[in-house]
Structure formats: C-alpha cells, structure tokens
C-alpha cells in the first residue's frame, strides 16, 4: 500500500497527515501558519512538519512516497506556484510552493487550492463518495466551492475556478444599495451569505454588538428560547433570526442556481454554517429546492462528512 502526506495550509493553521492509498489517516499534526513571515519561512515550517511525519511513519515501517498540498490562495496546480493570495498570508503570492517544498523534503510535491482539495476529499471519501460528479460549496469565513468531475476539480484556465461566492445575489443589498464584497465588487453571494456577513446583517437589523459579538454569538442568540434583558434583547434575537434566515436563503438560492448550471450528481454543503444546525440548514435547503429546474428536483444535497480531514485526504489524493 502506498502512503503519502496530505497538507492543508490555511491562513491561520497548517495541518498535515500521513494518508494511505485507501484514505486512512495514520498520523497527523497541526502547526500555526507563519502568516506574517513570508513564503520562504512558511515553506521551512511546512517542510519541518512534513519531515517530522515522514520520520514518524518510518518508525512505524511506513515509507512516504509523495506530498500533496491544499493551500489558501490561487494555486497554479500545473506549476505548483502561488498565483495570488490575500493578506491573510503575507508574502504568499509568488511562492514556488511545490518546487520549494520538494527541494526541502526530497519528495515529489503537487499543490492545489485548499477548497479544491477539500472537495476532492469529500468526492473521494466523504459525502460525494461514489458520485461521478459533485459540487461542493463551503459557507464559512468566505464562500467558496469546487465542481468535481470524476475525482478532478474544474480548476479553470487561470486556476481561479470555484469562486462561487462571487456572483450576484438578489439578497446582497440593503436599502437598495448592493453590499460591498471583499473582492472589490458588490452585491455578491459572499457579501450576504458568509459567516461574517450574517453578523453584519444582524448589526444592520438593529442587533446589539453586546448581545452577539460575532457570528457564533448570532447563532447562540437565535437558538436561545428566552433571552434575558427585556425588549432590547428580544430585538437582538429577532435581528439574529432575520440575519440567519437571510444568509441561509441567499446561500440556498446561490447553490440552487449553480445546480441548474452544472447538474452535479451530488451536492455537498460544507463550512462552519453547514454545521450550525437546522436554523441555517432548513431555510438554505428550502431556498435551494425552490430554484431547481424540474428534472433536478431530486438532486441529493448532503452535509460534508469529513470535517477538517477533507483537505488533508483530498491533497493526498493528488499524489496517490
């Protein structure tokens, strides 16, 4: 049996695991991503993480034959380079990710964007296992996705494919003005359906920043059946329910439209919001189903099942 290392390199932490050709994760470790230190320092730290796992594997009699990396940023999967990245990882753009790691660890390295790695993982072993095609959409800090044909994500000509948070949403307006999007445009799905967007909606709807300091707080407030603190707390709770409903509706409508466009065998919903319970899932799925063309009415829509290991096993699949 072949063994490789899968790496999930995100803006705040980097996780890696030894993965067998049947998808079993034998050992894993996580380190903080040195997101202020520049590309070479990140490569050094990631190489050390990988080398530690290679040694642990060797101690157990397991030989590692390659490394797959799912990384934040736009990744040229052919060249193994970081085309562009946000300021979440300073100095990451332009890094020779695959070649730099390969030189450090002495193993072949392939790389892809982390959302695509995540989707490969779910398509291989998770909620879309056995499907000939799948669409994964993740709703969390941002909104991203990947359309996987077979086990190969559609990366796009410039490796930008999968930016499913950046198309227009009728929900993404307030008082007639499109909400600004992190991409620089406005009125996009991500501007209303991401986790932070739900907190922003809550504040716009008159929710108090004291009652809910972040998106998690909005959900806690919405789930509490008897808020303390009288009329103000009741208003905050109403704002929380409205913000979640709006974000979920926008999410479902967006995914429904994507299904009409792509007709995947299976749809996988991932990210923190997918794990937030029925309060988000139910209006999301209702809005999704309402969009669908008649022949697509029975499309399965499943919650991602692999959690944090999805991108590790998906990245590993690149070299298996």
Query: What does the binding site for a second copy look like in residue numbers (CB under 8 A)?
Result: 74, 83-84, 131-133, 145, 149, 154-164, 166-170, 172-173, 178, 183-185, 187, 253-254, 256-258, 260-265, 290-296
Is 2 in a helix, a strand, or coil?
A: coil
DSSP structural state of residue 179 = P
Q: What is the distance between the alpha carbons of residues 299 and 230, in angstroms, rounded to a whole number?
A: 44
**Which is nearer to a second copy, 69 or 148 (by Cβ)?**
148
DSSP structural state of residue 208 = -
**Which is nearer to a second copy, 28 or 86 (by Cβ)?**
86
Q: How far is the CB of 159 from a second copy (least distance, A)?
A: 7
Instruction: Give the pairing type, strands 133-139 and 266-270.
Output: parallel
Query: Which residues, in sequence order, are bridge partners of residue 146?
Result: 136
Q: How far is the CB of 118 from a second copy (least distance, A)?
A: 17
Instruction: Give the pairing type, strands 81-84 and 74-76.
Output: antiparallel
Alpha-carbon radius of gyration of the chain: 20
Q: What is the distance between the alpha carbons of residues 106 and 63, in angstroms, rounded to a whole number?
A: 13
Q: How far is the CB of 266 from a second copy (least distance, A)?
A: 8
**Which is nearer to a second copy, 93 or 203 (by Cβ)?**
93
Block residue for tokens 């490394």: 67
- 63, 65, 82, 79: which is closest to 9 by C-alpha? 82
**Which is nearer to a second copy, 156 or 196 (by Cβ)?**
156
Half-sphere exposure of 304 (CA within 13 A, CB side): 30
- Roughly what angle, to the nearest 10 degrees, separates helices 97-105 and 39-59? 40
Q: How far is the CB of 293 from a second copy (least distance, A)?
A: 6
* Helical H segments across the chain, by residue range: 39-59, 97-105, 114-125, 190-193, 195-204, 215-223, 230-262, 278-291, 310-317
**Which is nearer to a second copy, 51 or 84 (by Cβ)?**
84
**Which is nearer to a second copy, 114 or 211 (by Cβ)?**
114
Q: How far is the CB of 199 from a second copy (least distance, A)?
A: 22
Q: What is the distance between the alpha carbons of residues 187 and 206, in angstroms, rounded to a whole number?
A: 21
**Which is nearer to a second copy, 163 or 317 (by Cβ)?**
163
Q: How far is the CB of 144 from a second copy (least distance, A)?
A: 11
Query: Which residues, in sequence order, are bridge partners of residue 297?
Result: none
Exposed (0-12), middle (13-18) or buried (19+): which is 151, by Cβ within 10 Å?
A: middle
Q: How far is the CB of 150 from a second copy (least distance, A)?
A: 12
**Which is nearer to a second copy, 10 or 73 (by Cβ)?**
73
Q: How far is the CB of 252 from a second copy (least distance, A)?
A: 10
């Amino acid at each position: 049996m072949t063994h490789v290392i899968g790496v999930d390199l995100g803006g705040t932490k980097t996780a890696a695991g030894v993965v067998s050709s049947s998808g079993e994760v034998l050992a894993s470790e996580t380190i903080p991503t040195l997101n202020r230190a520049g590309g070479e320092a990140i490569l050094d730290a990631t190489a050390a993480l990988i080398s530690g796992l290679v040694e642990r594997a060797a101690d157990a009699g397991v030989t590692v034959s390659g490394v797959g990396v799912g990384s934040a940023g736009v990744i040229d999967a052919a060249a193994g380079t970081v085309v562009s990245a946000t300021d979440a990882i300073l100095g990451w753009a332009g890094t020779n990710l695959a070649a730099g790691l390969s030189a450090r660890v002495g193993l072949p390295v392939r790389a892809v964007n982390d959302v695509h790695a995540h989707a490969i993982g779910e398509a291989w072993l998770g909620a879309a296992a056995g499907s000939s095609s799948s669409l994964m959409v993740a709703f969390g800090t941002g909104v991203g996705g990947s359309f996987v044909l077979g086990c190969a994500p559609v990366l796009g000509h410039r490796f930008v494919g999968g930016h499913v948070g950046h198309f227009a949403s009728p929900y993404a307006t307030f008082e007639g003005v499109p909400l600004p999007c992190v991409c620089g445009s406005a009125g996009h799905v991500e501007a209303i359906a991401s986790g932070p967007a739900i907190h922003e909606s809550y504040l716009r709807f008159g929710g108090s920043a004291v009652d809910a300091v972040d998106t998690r707080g909005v959900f806690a407030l919405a789930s509490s059946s008897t808020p303390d603190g009288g009329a103000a707390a009741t208003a905050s709770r109403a704002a929380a329910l409205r913000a979640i409903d709006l974000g979920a509706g926008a999410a479902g409508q967006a995914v429904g439209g994507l299904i009409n466009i792509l007709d995947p065998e299976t749809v996988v919903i991932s990210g923190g919001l997918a794990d937030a319970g029925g309060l988000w899932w139910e209006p999301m799925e209702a809005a999704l189903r309402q969009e669908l063309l008649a022949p697509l009415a029975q499309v399965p829509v499943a919650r991602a099942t692999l959690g944090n290991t999805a991108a590790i096993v998906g990245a590993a699949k690149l070299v298996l």
